[in-house]
A and B are shown apart, each in its own frame.
Chain A
Amino acid sequence: MKRKMAAMAMTAALVLGTLAGCGKTENAQPETKEEETVADDASGEAAEETETAKEPQSGEEKTITIWAWDDNFNVAVMKEAANVYAQSNPDANVNVDVVSLSKEDVYVKLQTALAGGGSGLPDIVLLEDYVSGKYLNTFPGSFADLTEKFDFSQFLSFKVDAVTQDGKTYAVPFDTGATALYYRLDLVEQAGYTEEDMQDLTWDEFIEIGKTVTEKTGVQMIVEIANNKTTLVRAMMQSCGLWYFDKDGNINIKDNEALKSAFDIIVRMKEAGILYEAESTEGRAGALNNGTVVSVVNAPWFISSIRQAEDQSGLWRAARIPRIAELDSSINASNVGGSSWYVLEKSEVKDEAIAFLQGVWEGNTDFYDTIMLNQGAMGSYIPGYDTGVYDEEDEFFGGQKLNGLFAEILPDVIPVNFGGYVAEANDAITTALANLFEGKVTIDEALEQAEAQLANQLGR
């Protein structure tokens, strides 16, 4: 019997070991690690600057390592910043190394390194404002306090609020998620509406227009992702200055009027047959590009997805998002996401990293113009809004002054306290909405469920 038990244990251990081993190799997701330094940049201009940077200077050249995601957006913007810095500060003697990772990889690697005591960390890292609280709470002291280093009154207040904790500001605000309603004017016109009809709507009016448009054109009015409808929810919620958490960080779901209205509006959209539920982010972009849906509510960076359909050039327009009619606090402006640059406290080149951020991200409006034009990046630096770039007309949007629209929306956005647990809250809301859509619960029950789930998750 004893021998049998031993044999059993050994077999089990072997099997476990083998399987664990298999799992690990197979689970390894294709990493999109693409270490690209400024020096690798193919453009002649960059090569020239690298040479300047590499010229033997007094002392050793220092490397600032930056982690970011999205080659066409954040990474490109930071590389541009590196070029600008090298040009304007040839004596700085630093080499900026922008490492492009997937967003998930940035978080996973950062989280692992911080939890493991801090080796293998970059010097500057890009984080979404939604996760700001999570990192600042969980790893206090890991990020450099920048309060005294920048004049934060020159940055949008809701962006600064998002990266400030206990009166200390920990990041340089980068892009904003100023929310707009992007729609196909041609389809709206086919249903007998004009561009003026789409301005400063309430969601009730939007649904009525949607019904007519869907009826007359056979195209559904608005798209949202089926298993994660929180973009709409968050946009509606912040348009009232409300959030999953109140100012003190307490859960605010069950009695949250904005959430209640948001759930109601989304359910009414579905019942009216005007809501197209895409299966993924790719499916959402695809539906817009092949003309399956009329409109979408999203941030400035979403425009690049819309632009993919070149044959639709001139047919698109952007407008302020609708507001919630029954709530007086609701305005035609909101924000979904956005991110900021953090400096790691324990970085060996902390001072150089801060100097680099100061040198480019503060005061240099030309830089903001460049990234606005090239990447469509909507910065948070207020003096950057006064430049001519904002009068630029966008052909794809029928000559509309798109950047100007965002510059107009941004100051209206009401700051909210994101708190440290946005991912948890999003999951709770997603679950509640799925149950609501399957008809298992009422809106009030769904919200109670979400609050209970979140409270349980946070151990409150």
Chain B
Amino acid sequence: MKRTKKAGPNYDRYGWIFISAAFLLYLIFTIYPAVESLMLAFQSLEGGEYIFVGLKNFKRMFGDAIFLQSLKNTFLYMVLQVPVMLIMALVIAVMLNSSFLKFKGFFRTSIFLPCVTSLVAYSILFKMMFSLDGIINQALMHLGILDAPYQFLQNSGWARAVIVIAMLWRWTGYNVIFYLSALQNIPKETFEAAKVDGANAVQTFFRVTVPQLKPIVLLTAIMSTNGTLQLFDETMNITQGGPANSTLTVSHYIYNQSFVYAPNFGYASAISYMVVFIMIILAIIQFSVAGKEG
């Protein structure tokens, strides 16, 4: 009795004290920079000093051919890569979850392994694989498909394809883990009921498994969309945005505006906020689509 009485008021206070350190760091390292960069988005560096320019940075974006190209590229990656990756991840997760599979631990580890590689390291690896004397060209020549090595990274279509393939390899396993854990939370009874009702494997998958995975599908879809919008390491290391800006992403362009070209942090911040805005719109769409069906 005594304890609960005492714990009552202090409970809250202790709680606040415990989270205060983390919250303070969050304020300093996340909220403060976010607010500062929002201010920066309305400023421009001219003659060594920041001056307020209103919406000029935002207006500039709509006439900036390279920005629009980078936006187009980013959406292309998203449309090509995210659905393919999520479907693959779902199929692999269901396979890994099946009761007859032996060496589950081994397969699960293997599938997840790409996720622990560094983004830079794996990007360089893919660049090497698709280079002139890389393993892909060697294999295709041995098989007689190619007569001479092909410069995959110098063709805009292929360069994009290489980026998408690299991302599929890197991120599919990551999503598999989400689906696996969600699958294990689906009550067994629902599968048994489906079996009793005479549903085949395909029917069970679409009518029983997928609907119950919906929240997690939504989560992975949002995460993947965000991840794609922030794509940087892959294009930076594999193609440097080339050929002819055909693989340049928005994040890469933000980097160029800040550090490669004459520094324009204001414009770079404005583009960053444009990306945030796009993410919010996409998240709202995804939530509302999911909401309707359920």
Contacts and interface: CB of A to CB of B under 8 A. Distances in A.
B120 A30 contact: yes
A43 interface: no
A26 B118 contact: yes
Interface in A173-229: 226-228
A375 to B, nearest CB: 27
A11 B219 CA distance: 9
B258 A111 contact: yes
A291 interface: no
Contacts of B244: 430-432, 434-435, 438
A140 B261 contact: no
Given A107-B259, A227-B153, A283-B131, A115 B232 contact: no
A279 interface: yes
Interface in A3-50: 4, 8, 11-12, 15-17, 19-20, 23, 26-27, 29-30
Contact of B259 (A16, A30, A111, A142): A111
Contacts of A435: 244
B159 to A, nearest CB: 9
Interface centre among A115, A452, A453, by most B CB within 10 Å? A115
A421 to B, nearest CB: 6
Interface centre among A16, A17, A30, A283, by most B CB within 10 Å? A16
B144 interface: no
A420 B154 contact: no
B115 to A, nearest CB: 10
Contacts of A29: 120
A457 interface: yes
Interface stretch (B75-83, B91-99, B277-285): B277-285
Interface in B158-176: none
A397 B137 CA distance: 35
Interface string A409-428: 00000000000110110010
Of the four ranges (under 10, 10 to 19, 20 to 34, 35 or more), the interface on chain A belongs to: 35 or more
Interface string A217-247: 0000000001110000000000000000000
Interface centre among B127, B245, B265, by most A CB within 10 Å? B245
B262 A134 contact: yes
B262 A138 contact: yes
Contact of B261 (A139, A424, A434): A424
B58 to A, nearest CB: 14
A137 interface: yes
A383 interface: no
Interface in B250-280: 256, 258-263, 265, 276, 279-280
Interface in B227-246: 227, 230, 232-233, 239-240, 242-245
B64 interface: yes
Contacts of A437: 154, 243
B154 A139 contact: no
Interface in A138-154: 138-142
Given A227-B154, A279-B132, A453-B66, A139 B48 contact: yes
Given A138-B45, A453-B65, A457-B261, A277 B222 contact: no
A12 B222 contact: yes
A29 B291 CA distance: 40
A456 interface: yes
B11 to A, nearest CB: 23
Nearest to B47: A140
Contact of A111 (B226, B263, B283): B263
Interface residues of B, number: 49
B30 A19 contact: no
A167 interface: no
Given A115-B45, A277-B151, A8 B287 contact: yes
A227 to B, nearest CB: 4
B104 interface: no
B223 interface: yes
Nearest to B244: A434
B119 interface: yes
B209 interface: no
Contacts of B287: 8
Interface in A250-265: none
A141 B154 CA distance: 42
Contacts of B214: none
Contacts of B239: 227
Contacts of A456: 63-66
Contacts of A114: 263
Contacts of B118: 26
A17 B156 CA distance: 33
Contacts of A283: 131-132
Interface in B117-134: 118-120, 127, 131-132
Contact of A421 (B259, B261, B284): B261
B230 A8 contact: no
Nearest to B260: A423
B112 to A, nearest CB: 15
B207 interface: no
A387 B151 CA distance: 47
B195 interface: no
Contacts of A104: 259
A272 interface: no
A15 B287 CA distance: 14
A108 interface: yes
Interface in B32-64: 45, 47-48, 60, 63-64
B46 to A, nearest CB: 9
A302 B257 CA distance: 29
Interface centre among B151, B239, B244, by most A CB within 10 Å? B244
A432 B263 CA distance: 23
A459 interface: yes
B97 to A, nearest CB: 25
Q: Can you list the 6 inter-chain pairs with the closest CB atoms, starting with the nearest?
A: A434-B244, A434-B243, A227-B242, A431-B244, A134-B262, A140-B48
Given A26-B119, A456-B66, 17 more contacts: A4-B291, A16-B279, A30-B120, A104-B259, A111-B263, A134-B263, A226-B151, A227-B154, A227-B243, A228-B240, A279-B151, A423-B261, A431-B242, A434-B154, A434-B242, A438-B155, A456-B63
Interface of B: 30, 45, 47-48, 60, 63-66, 118-120, 127, 131-132, 151, 153-156, 219, 222-223, 226-227, 230, 232-233, 239-240, 242-245, 256, 258-263, 265, 276, 279-280, 283-284, 287, 291
Interface of A: 4, 8, 11-12, 15-17, 19-20, 23, 26-27, 29-30, 104, 107-108, 111, 114-115, 134, 137-142, 226-228, 277, 279, 283, 420-421, 423-424, 427, 430-432, 434-435, 437-438, 452-453, 456-457, 459
